[in-house]
Structure 1
Amino acid sequence: MLTRLKSRYNFSLAIFVIFMIVVTLTSLNAFVAPKLASMEGDLISQELTLIGNDIQKELAQVQAQQRAITQLVPELSSDQIDAQLPALLDQYGELKVFGGGIWPLPGERTSGRDRHSTFYHRDSQGRMIVNTYWNSAEAPPYYNEPWYQNGRNSPRGECAWAKAYEDDASAEPRTNCAMGIYRGSQLYGVATIDVTLGFFNELVAESEQHIGGDVMVVERDGTIVSNSGAVRGDIVLQNVSNLASRGSLTKALANEDLGRVESFRQPYQGVEGEDLTLLVVAIDGTPWVLAASVPTELLQRQSNGLIKLLLAFQVPLLLVLLIVIAVVLQRLLARLNRLRTSIDDLSAGEADLTRRLPTGKGDELDDIASSTNGFIQYLQGMIKDIAGASGRIDQSMASLQDGATNSRQILEAHVGETDQVVTAITELSATSDDVAKDANRTADFVSQVSEQAKESQALVRQATDAMDSLLSRIDGVTAGSDRMRAVVDQITPMLGTISDIADQTNLLALNAAIEAARAGDQGRGFAVVADEVRALAARTRQSTEEIDSRLTDLTKGMEQMVRSIEETRESSGAASEANERVNRGLDEVASAVQEIQQLSAQIATAAEEQSSVSRQVDANMISIRHMVDDLVAQGETNERATADMIEANHELVSRVRGFRTD
Structure 2
Amino acid sequence: MNFSTIKSKLVLYLVVSLISIASGVVFAYIIASLEIKKIMVNDISDVATTLEKSIKFIAINDKEAYKKDSFSAYLNSIKIGKSGYVYLIDASGTLISHPSKQGKSLGGKSYAEHIIHDKSGGTHEYVSSTSGQEKIAGYRYIQDWDMWIVPGVNKADYFEDLKENFLKWMMLCGGIIAFLLALMGKIIERRIVRPVENLIEVAAELAQGDGDLKKRLDFPGDSEMATASNYVDQFISRIQEVVNVAKTTVQASVHSAEKLGGLSQKITRQIEEQHKLTTSSNKLVQEISKSLDEGEDAAIKTADDLSITSTELESMIGKLSTISDYVTDASVKQVDFSDKLMQLNEDAKQIKEVLTVIDEIADQTNLLALNAAIEAARAGEHGRGFAVVADEVRKLAERTQKSLAEINATINIVVQSISEASDEMKESAQQMSDISVISNEIQGQTSSTKSSMEQTITYAQNSAKLATTIAYRTKTLITNMDDVTQLSTQSEEIIHDVDDTVKTIVEHSHELELRLNEFKS
Report the TM-score when normalising by structure 2: 0.61
Separation in 2, partners of 1:16, 1:8: 12
Shift of 1:640: 0.8
Correspondent of 1:214 among 62, 73, 85: 85
Correspondent of 1:639 among 474, 488, 499: 499
Q: Does the aligned pair in 2 maintain the 1:249–1:292 contact within 8 Å?
A: no
The residue aligned with 2:287 is 427
Alpha carbons of 1:23 and 1:448: their partners in 2 closer, same or farther (altered >3 Å)? closer
Separation in 1, partners of 2:171, 2:289: 103
The count of corresponding residues between Structure 1 and Structure 2 is: 412
Residue type at the aligned position of 1:276: E
Correspondent of 2:197 among 337, 361, 364: 337
Residue type at the aligned position of 1:33: S
Alpha carbons of 1:388 and 1:438: their partners in 2 closer, same or farther (altered >3 Å)? same
Q: Does the aligned pair in 1 maintain the 2:92–2:107 contact within 8 Å?
A: no
Residue type at the aligned position of 2:126: Y
Shift of 1:612: 5.0
Shift of 1:440: 3.6
Q: Does the aligned pair in 2 maintain the 1:6–1:329 contact within 8 Å?
A: no
The residue aligned with 1:31 is 31
- Tell me the SS of whatever aligns to 2:125: strand
Q: Does the aligned pair in 2 maintain the 1:200–1:225 contact within 8 Å?
A: no
The residue aligned with 2:151 is 292
Separation in 1, partners of 2:160, 2:304: 119
- Tell me the SS of whatever aligns to 1:259: coil
The answer to whether residue 116 in structure 2 is matched with residue 254 in structure 1 is: yes
Q: Does the aligned pair in 1 maintain the 2:93–2:106 contact within 8 Å?
A: no
The residue aligned with 2:345 is none
Correspondent of 1:52 among 45, 50, 53: 50
Alpha carbons of 1:162 and 1:658: their partners in 2 closer, same or farther (altered >3 Å)? same
Separation in 2, partners of 1:319, 1:456: 120
Q: Does the aligned pair in 2 maintain the 1:37–1:303 contact within 8 Å?
A: no
Deviations 1:370-424 (A, max 9, x none): 3322332343344355446546655664565456445544543442233133213
The residue aligned with 2:63 is 165
- Tell me the SS of whatever aligns to 1:162: helix
Q: Does the aligned pair in 1 maintain the 2:89–2:97 contact within 8 Å?
A: no
Shift of 1:430: 0.6
Separation in 2, partners of 1:445, 1:283: 123
Shift of 1:206: 3.2
Q: Does the aligned pair in 2 maintain the 1:282–1:290 contact within 8 Å?
A: yes
The answer to whether residue 195 in structure 2 is matched with residue 324 in structure 1 is: no
Separation in 1, partners of 2:129, 2:299: 117
The answer to whether residue 162 in structure 2 is matched with residue 303 in structure 1 is: yes
Deviations 1:47-88 (A, max 9, x none): x27x938x96x79xxxxxxxxxxxxxxxxxxxxxxxxxxxxx
Residue type at the aligned position of 1:300: F
Higher mean Cα deviation, 11-20 or 645-654?
A: 11-20
Separation in 2, partners of 1:217, 1:455: 130
Correspondent of 1:271 among 115, 129, 136: 129
- Tell me the SS of whatever aligns to 2:229: helix
The answer to whether residue 232 in structure 2 is matched with residue 232 in structure 1 is: no
Correspondent of 2:509 among 649, 655, 658: 649
For structure 1, which runs of at least 5 residues remain unmatched after alignment? 60-146, 148-158, 167-171, 175-195, 236-241, 470-571
Deviations 1:185-211 (A, max 9, x none): xxxxxxxxxxx7834642543315x43
- Tell me the SS of whatever aligns to 2:86: strand
- Tell me the SS of whatever aligns to 1:645: helix
Separation in 2, partners of 1:278, 1:456: 123
Alpha carbons of 1:323 and 1:613: their partners in 2 closer, same or farther (altered >3 Å)? same
- Tell me the SS of whatever aligns to 1:211: coil
Separation in 2, partners of 1:36, 1:361: 59
Deviations 1:456-490 (A, max 9, x none): 9899999999xx99xxxxxxxxxxxxxxxxxxxxx
Separation in 1, partners of 2:480, 2:322: 59
Separation in 1, partners of 2:215, 2:159: 69
Residue type at the aligned position of 1:646: V
Q: Does the aligned pair in 2 maintain the 1:447–1:597 contact within 8 Å?
A: yes
Separation in 1, partners of 2:288, 2:61: 130
Separation in 2, partners of 1:461, 1:380: 109
Residue type at the aligned position of 1:438: A
The structure with the largest alpha-carbon Rg is 1
Q: Does the aligned pair in 2 maintain the 1:278–1:291 contact within 8 Å?
A: no
Separation in 2, partners of 1:165, 1:254: 20
Shift of 1:435: 0.7
Shift of 1:318: 6.0
Q: Does the aligned pair in 2 maintain the 1:353–1:376 contact within 8 Å?
A: yes
Correspondent of 1:383 among 231, 243, 246: 243
Q: Does the aligned pair in 1 maintain the 2:213–2:520 contact within 8 Å?
A: yes
Q: Kindly report which structure 2 residues correspond to 1:567-582, keeping only aligned pairs within 5 A, or say none.
A: none
The residue aligned with 2:70 is 198
The residue aligned with 1:243 is 106
Separation in 1, partners of 2:278, 2:205: 64
Separation in 1, partners of 2:189, 2:221: 19
Q: Does the aligned pair in 2 maintain the 1:360–1:366 contact within 8 Å?
A: yes
Residue type at the aligned position of 2:77: A
Correspondent of 1:365 among 201, 222, 225: 225
Separation in 2, partners of 1:644, 1:211: 94
The answer to whether residue 15 in structure 2 is matched with residue 12 in structure 1 is: no
Residue type at the aligned position of 1:357: L
Shift of 1:426: 1.1
Residue type at the aligned position of 2:78: E
The residue aligned with 2:214 is 354
The residue aligned with 2:346 is none
Shift of 1:329: 6.1
- Tell me the SS of whatever aligns to 1:418: helix
Q: Does the aligned pair in 2 maintain the 1:404–1:639 contact within 8 Å?
A: yes
Residue type at the aligned position of 2:106: L
Q: Does the aligned pair in 2 maintain the 1:426–1:618 contact within 8 Å?
A: yes
Separation in 2, partners of 1:23, 1:233: 48
Q: Kindly report which structure 2 residues correspond to 1:453-492, keeping only aligned pairs within 5 A, or say none.
A: none
Separation in 2, partners of 1:204, 1:45: 18
Correspondent of 1:600 among 436, 460, 481: 460
RMSD: 5.1
In terms of fraction of residues, the more helix-rich structure is 2
Separation in 2, partners of 1:358, 1:398: 44
* Identical pairs, percent: 13
- Tell me the SS of whatever aligns to 2:492: helix
Alpha carbons of 1:197 and 1:335: their partners in 2 closer, same or farther (altered >3 Å)? same
- Looking at both structures, which has the greater relative contact order when contacts are Cα pairs under 8 Å and sequence separation is at least 6? 2
Q: Does the aligned pair in 2 maintain the 1:281–1:289 contact within 8 Å?
A: yes
- Tell me the SS of whatever aligns to 1:243: coil
Deviations 1:254-293 (A, max 9, x none): 35x24265xx4x5323335835232427699x99976333
Separation in 1, partners of 2:513, 2:121: 97
Shift of 1:619: 5.0
Q: Does the aligned pair in 2 maintain the 1:198–1:226 contact within 8 Å?
A: no
Deviations 1:569-606 (A, max 9, x none): xxx9xxx99x97x9877755543332122221232244
Q: Kindly report which structure 2 residues correspond to 1:123-134, keeping only aligned pairs within 5 A, or say none.
A: none
Q: Kindly report which structure 2 residues correspond to 1:459-608, keeping only aligned pairs within 5 A, or say none.
A: 589-608=449-468
In terms of fraction of residues, the more strand-rich structure is 1
